[in-house]
Structure 1
Amino acid sequence: MALVEDVFLPTNLTSSNQSSCNVHNHHFSTKVTFSLFYIILLVFGACGNVLALCITFQRRKKKLNSTDLYLVNLALSDALFTLALPGRIAYYILESDWPFGDWFCRITAFIFYMNTYVSIYFMTCVSVDRYVAVVRTRHPGRIRKMSRARGVCALIWSLVFLQTAPLLLRPMTRRMGDKLTCMEYFNFEEIPNLPYLLLVACMIGFFLPVGVILVCYVRINLKLCQTAKENPLTVKNGHHRRAFTVILVVLLAVLLCFSPYHLNIVQFMVRKILYQPSCREQQAFKMSLQVTVAFMNLNCCIDPVIYFFAFRGYKRRLLRIFRNSGSLATSSTAKTPSESNSNSHSHSQPPGSVSI
């Protein structure tokens, strides 16, 4: 699935009978916009996910539950994803000229798209886990055992690795004039029935997980309403409402980050099946891919928001860190005037007097 879906960005949309169509246009606005975007993404993504991991592993007294384990794996995936961003930043600064060679381009593509599907699958796991904890209250411990959660995590990493491993087996760079492009071109004619394979991959890799998340969201919402009618005091403890909030944030994150890209892919693949897109349509698709991929990569900054609502104690520890840093800054700022006043006061005292 990863091979057919993850070639979306390295797409040579120029068919044999439209060889004059150049979809790779260099614009100064593209260089500036995407360079700044990925720089901001690198700073906030790295800081947010590393901070989430640090706060999580500082909770030595409390063992991780299954939800925490899924979120830790999500944070780890996002932290690893930021390692691929410096190469993309350099690529856009150099106006789509890749300076690091083909193998590093393959590794970058592998990290990019592995993070995409690891994020989607672990967000789905978080939603299912919250659903089991709130709705399936009879035997939640059996399903949410840590040994089972570890097995699910290992399965997801292995599955996504197998999906994206083909990216390491084919060249991802191509010489275009005086520039070496990376993750930009791929020939549709090299893989038979590629549009159909892409549609199937989108269904399995995105629309199916979104359907699962939606079902969990609706069921927890119904459970919350039912519990509120039967026992309003139970709702006040915040357990059900926190689970509802977590899945709502997960759903919004998935729809915001991943749906523009997948809908874009589906739309163009349907056109590709029905007729040969014109050169203008191909150029528009190429530009829309850059924008939707940027939205997709935004998930590494949105995921820390999920930790904020899902981790017990994460909000308190995070606010404590900012409060302590703010108090340190305030105390250091206030220290200088007091010291200056003390020094001026000591100088104004007559000889032999004692300062109290």
Structure 2
Amino acid sequence: MMAVPNDSTTLNSTFFPHTSENIENQTCTDWPRVPMITIIPSIYTVICILGIIGNTLAVCVLAHTSTSRRTVANMFMLNLCVSDLLFLLSLPLWAVYYSRGYNWPFGQVACKISGSLHNLNLYASIFFITCMSVDRYLALVHPLRSQSVRDPKRAKLICILVWILACACTAPTIALRDTHYIKEYDVEACAIIYPDHTWYQSLAWMKVLLGFLLPMIIISCCYCAIGCHLLAGFGDIGLRKPSHFGSTFKSSGSQESSSRTERPPTPCVNPSSSGSRPKEGRGLERVLWTVAAVVLAFFLCWFPFHCVTFIDILQSDGWLDGCWVNWTISNLTPLTLCLGFSNSAINPVLYCFMGNHFRGRLGALSKGLCARLKAPDEDNSQKRGSFSTRLSSFSRKLSDLKDLAIVEAPAQT
């Protein structure tokens, strides 16, 4: 951490570079530094554009779903997309911040709001993904007993509680993040100055535990239980299939035996339930894989950042030291943060490419929008057509009157 001169407070490095006396020593001059001023704004710009487009489409599709088809999982996904979208709207400010060499030009209020949206998204996203995982566990492992629990009204209440909990975890950031003039760099930084080291340790551990470790333990337990349940179900199916088909063969007639000689039955398909259960199974499997992909993407995107945060905690307590530690914290914190931010742009891509229902609803919504846009043009063309028709009929009447006047004039003379 960077010590502020003549003060015992410490400066947050989430959006400000680390410096240390060891970095300035001759023994550490060989360690290359990453050009953050050019790399980070470019990455932020790509993430912002792709993420805003994807999450906006996802919010439109999920919000326009009919009430009868609005599931608990869709509600959690909708809130996850809203959380990502709120943060992505603040990302251009951070891109400008990095491009100006960590100089914040947007004022105190924008600094607090932008920093708070970052922390809010960090907590809200993992909380909603945890809710989605628990919902999949209840739906697949306890489908009957969980019907009363998995209710859209209760899901709305859970979403409200998640937002309240995420805001509570973000409250210290709102209070502590501010603009500070850093004399060593001659910049107006948007950073957190902690009252003492205990504050830094407490908030850093809260970020690691509540924002990553505990939710990942819950998610892992849910998917381990789902995997064991599915494997046990496949085992039961394998044990039941021979007796089922044996009884079917015994009770069949001559026509059924002749059809078996032409096309023998496949022992992996239950003919008595081939109408609806395979489709339902494929739908559950699709939802399961979608949620699993979202969880895996979150883990891969945010795990490196929390690892660097853990190294930072150990270094601040004196457990780790050296050039590699300072280089890792100084250079990998912004890069791993970029990787974490990319998760906000990856989630809607997973919905689009892995969810057939999502693609179908997106296509239907696009067709409806195109139809609405075409309707005013058709009305205008009809109005123009009717006006031209009336104008032509009026001109014909005028020409008829002129001809009549010409014909009547000689008769009067």
With normalisation by structure 2, the TM-score equals: 0.67
Distance across 2 between alignment mates of 1:275 and 1:96: 29
**Residues 201-210 or 278-287, more deviating:** 278-287
Percent identity of equivalent pairs: 26
Does residue 264 (structure 1) correspond to residue 308 (structure 2)? The answer is yes
Equivalent position SS for 1:123: helix
Q: For 1:98, which of 95, 99, 104 is the aligned residue?
A: 104
Equivalent position SS for 1:180: strand
Distance across 2 between alignment mates of 1:321 and 1:308: 14
Distance across 1 between alignment mates of 2:320 and 2:134: 41
1:339 aligned partner: none
Distance across 2 between alignment mates of 1:122 and 1:84: 21
In the TM superposition, what is the alpha-carbon distance from 1:143 to its structure 2 partner? Answer: 1.4
1:59 aligned partner: 65
What is the identity, as a one-letter code, of the residue corresponding to 1:9? T
Distance across 1 between alignment mates of 2:317 and 2:35: 32
2:186 aligned partner: 178
Equivalent position SS for 2:147: helix
**Superposed, which structure 2 residues align to 1:199-238 within 5 Å?**
199-231=205-237, 234=277, 237-238=281-282
Q: Over residues 285-336 of structure 1, what are the superposed CA-to-partner deviations in whole Å (9 max), with x where a residue is unaligned?
A: 12111111111111111111343377662022346789999xxxxxxxxxxx
**Superposed, which structure 2 residues align to 1:248-263 within 5 Å?**
248-263=292-307
Structure 2, unmatched stretches of 5+, are 1-10, 238-268, 271-276, 370-413
What is the identity, as a one-letter code, of the residue corresponding to 1:71? M
| Alpha-carbon contact 1:49-1:76 (below 8 Å) kept | yes
In the TM superposition, what is the alpha-carbon distance from 1:118 to its structure 2 partner? Answer: 0.4
For the structure 1 residues 152 and 320, does the alpha-carbon distance in structure 2 shift closer, same or farther, using more than 3 Å as the test?
closer
1:241 aligned partner: 285
Equivalent position SS for 2:352: helix
Distance across 2 between alignment mates of 1:196 and 1:265: 13
What is the identity, as a one-letter code, of the residue corresponding to 2:285? R
Distance across 1 between alignment mates of 2:67 and 2:170: 37
Q: For 2:326, which of 267, 279, 282 is the aligned residue?
A: 282
In the TM superposition, what is the alpha-carbon distance from 1:251 to its structure 2 partner? Answer: 2.5
Distance across 2 between alignment mates of 1:103 and 1:192: 26
Q: For 2:48, which of 25, 36, 42 is the aligned residue?
A: 42
Q: For 1:303, which of 328, 333, 347 is the aligned residue?
A: 347
Does residue 293 (structure 1) correspond to residue 337 (structure 2)? The answer is yes
In the TM superposition, what is the alpha-carbon distance from 1:195 to its structure 2 partner? Answer: 3.2
With normalisation by structure 1, the TM-score equals: 0.77
| Alpha-carbon contact 1:227-1:235 (below 8 Å) kept | no
Equivalent position SS for 1:97: coil
Distance across 1 between alignment mates of 2:323 and 2:107: 29
**Superposed, which structure 2 residues align to 1:142-181 within 5 Å?**
142-176=148-182, 177-181=185-189
Q: Over residues 174-198 of structure 1, what are the superposed CA-to-partner deviations in whole Å (9 max), with x where a residue is unaligned?
A: 2234322223x645x7232743653
For the structure 1 residues 225 and 68, does the alpha-carbon distance in structure 2 shift closer, same or farther, using more than 3 Å as the test?
same
In the TM superposition, what is the alpha-carbon distance from 1:165 to its structure 2 partner? Answer: 1.6
Count, aligned residues: 315
Q: CA RMSD in A?
A: 3.3
In the TM superposition, what is the alpha-carbon distance from 1:20 to its structure 2 partner? Answer: 7.0
Does residue 141 (structure 1) correspond to residue 143 (structure 2)? The answer is no
Q: Over residues 8-54 of structure 1, what are the superposed CA-to-partner deviations in whole Å (9 max), with x where a residue is unaligned?
A: 51678668x88978x9xx97832221111111111111100110111
Distance across 1 between alignment mates of 2:335 and 2:363: 34
Structure 1, unmatched stretches of 5+, are 1-5, 326-356
In the TM superposition, what is the alpha-carbon distance from 1:152 to its structure 2 partner? Answer: 0.9
| Alpha-carbon contact 1:110-1:168 (below 8 Å) kept | yes
In the TM superposition, what is the alpha-carbon distance from 1:144 to its structure 2 partner? Answer: 0.5
Distance across 2 between alignment mates of 1:283 and 1:122: 34
**Superposed, which structure 2 residues align to 1:63-82 within 5 Å?**
63-82=69-88
Q: For 1:126, which of 132, 138, 141 is the aligned residue?
A: 132
What is the identity, as a one-letter code, of the residue corresponding to 1:124? T
